[in-house]
Amino acid sequence: MRFGKVIAPFLLLVLFLPATGACFVSSNLSTNVGQPQPIPPEGDGSVTLEANITFTWGFGAFLPLATTIQIAAQDTPEWLMVTLDKNQISLTPQGLLGGETSQSVFMTLSSVTETQAGSYDTFTLSLETPGNLLIQEASYNQTIQVEQAFVNNNISAELSQRSIRLMEGERERVYLNMTNQCNGEVAVQVEVMNLSDGWEVTSTSPYYGGTLYIPSAYEGDNTASLPLTFESNKATTEEPWLKITYSSTDEDGQEYTFTKPISLRADTEGVSIGTIAAVVIGILVIIVIVAVAWRKYRLG
């Protein structure tokens, strides 16, 4: 009899709730998302990121009614595509005294265009539930930080002069002109290889023998010019090369190396090719002058 007195009001309450739109049980959403690895460039793969979604409710959920959580990626940067394996999940709160339940969704992050490496952007993981008959609605936004990985588009390097011919003891300056075609700043080292003691190489640049930093086109001027002065100590002919090594400054990554050949020749003291050419030109000029004078003399 006592049980009947207790259950009757309870049943009346259950019947009355739809009419009142009760939703008196508090709720909360949260998510745990790790920091994603740098996103590979377009066509080079993607990054998978797990988001563990937790739904919490308070006292009063006396019926195990399912609630749906809508999931969306919002405010994504232009270079990034975010694909969710689920756009919604269904959770069933069970526990009159309150509790929590969790479920994971996975996001695939991929690049759709190139952007600056090492520059952080963000997107929002949006969670929203309308609740149910007993449980109140809730929403939650998680900001996720992303960056694109370094894209090795190479650096171009051209010498202002590939061949140097001097007299012994002379010197000549050439310029190594470089352009960073990658999407992030690079650290560059330049070495002259296979050079005998018959030549010396110096530079007015403090970066020769050290590290030269060249920004990407996304950051500013992506060009640099390294002056190199070659001085001959003795007559010799050599074929050294410039070893150029570069790497990204934004991550501990791979070093990339390429070479540029250069031809050197130093002759002993004597009449140089330039001097011989000047003499020949002088003789030709004299011959022309004499011919013109002789023609005028004969016509006169």
For the chain, the domains span 23-146, 155-271
Q: Where are the alpha helices (DSSP H) in the chain?
A: 2-20, 273-299
What's the rounded Cα separation, in Å, for the pair 50 and 31?
A: 10
Is residue 137 within 8 A of residue 28, CB to CB? The reply is no
Fold match flag (23-146 vs 155-271): yes
User: Can you tell me which residue has the tokens 């009614």?
Assistant: 65
Eight-state DSSP code of residue 61: B
CA triplet 47, 48, 52: central angle to 5 degrees? 145
What's the rounded Cα separation, in Å, for the pair 224 and 218?
A: 15
Would you state the structure tokens that stand for residue 16, as one six-digit string? 């009355």
Strand ranges for 58-98 from DSSP E = 67-74, 80-84, 88-91
163-167/263-267 β-pairing: parallel
By three-state DSSP, how is residue 75 classified?
Answer: coil
Q: Which of 189, 193, 222 is nearest to 208 (CA)?
A: 189
Quick: pLDDT tens for 128-158. 998 777 787 889 999 999 999 999 999 999 9
CATH, domain range 23-146 = 2.60.40.10
CATH, domain range 155-271 = 2.60.40.10
Whole-prediction pTM = 0.73
What's the rounded Cα separation, in Å, for the pair 179 and 217?
A: 9
Query: Is residue 235 within a helix (H) or strand (E), and if so which, with residue range?
Result: none
Would you state the structure tokens that stand for residue 243, as one six-digit string? 């070893």
Quick: pLDDT tens for 6-63. 444 444 444 444 433 456 788 889 999 989 999 998 878 899 999 999 998 878 767 7
Q: Which of 238, 236, 239, 255 is nearest to 247 (CA)?
A: 255
Quick: pLDDT tens for 172-224. 999 999 999 999 999 999 999 999 999 999 998 888 888 999 999 999 999 99
What's the rounded Cα separation, in Å, for the pair 118 and 137?
A: 38
User: Can you tell me which residue has the tokens 């005998």?
Assistant: 196
Residue 159 has pLDDT above 60, yes or no: yes
